[in-house]
Amino acid sequence: GENVEQHPSTLSVQEGDSAVIKCTYSDSASNYFPWYKQELGKGPQLIIDIRSNVGEKKDQRIAVTLNKTAKHFSLHITETQPEDSAVYFCAASINFNKFYFGSGTKLNVKP
């Protein structure tokens, strides 16, 4: 089955700096890659996603890039704010079926 690896496991940045989280996947048939943010005591919430026919997608301070050849995708958060502090998960799926999640990145934005 699919194997998704996520790095780093923890990331600490100063408020206003950028944060980058990287994921790799193993199954070249995967074609949908969502990113989730999980705040303490809550369920993961979808923040952005990208499909295999697109190389980059941006939504305000958040962007995701996909390199299908290398089988990796990344989440970029610019101008980080304390409220961005959370655990972020990447995932991969084939045709929106079973999602395989990365192991999560705990982002800490220091004021």
Partner 1 sequence: DTAVSQTPKYLVTQMGNDKSIKCEQNLGHDTMYWYKQDSKKFLKIMFSYNNKELIINETVPNRFSPKSPDKAHLNLHINSLELGDSAVYFCASSSGTANYGYTFGSGTRLTVV
Binding to partner 1 by residue 73, rule CB under 8 A? no
**Interface with partner 1 in residues 88-107 (CB under 8 A):** 89, 91, 95-99, 101, 103-104, 106
- Measuring CA to CA, how many Å separate 13 from each of 27, 69, 72, 109? 32, 30, 23, 5
Contact segment (CB under 8 A) with partner 1 among 15-23, 52-60, 76-84, 87-95 equals 87-95
CA–CA gap between residue 78 and residue 20 (Å, rounded): 9
With tokens 């301070």, the residue in question is: 61
Residue with Cβ nearer partner 1 (22 or 106): 106
- Tell whether residue 53 is a contact of partner 1 (CB under 8 A): no
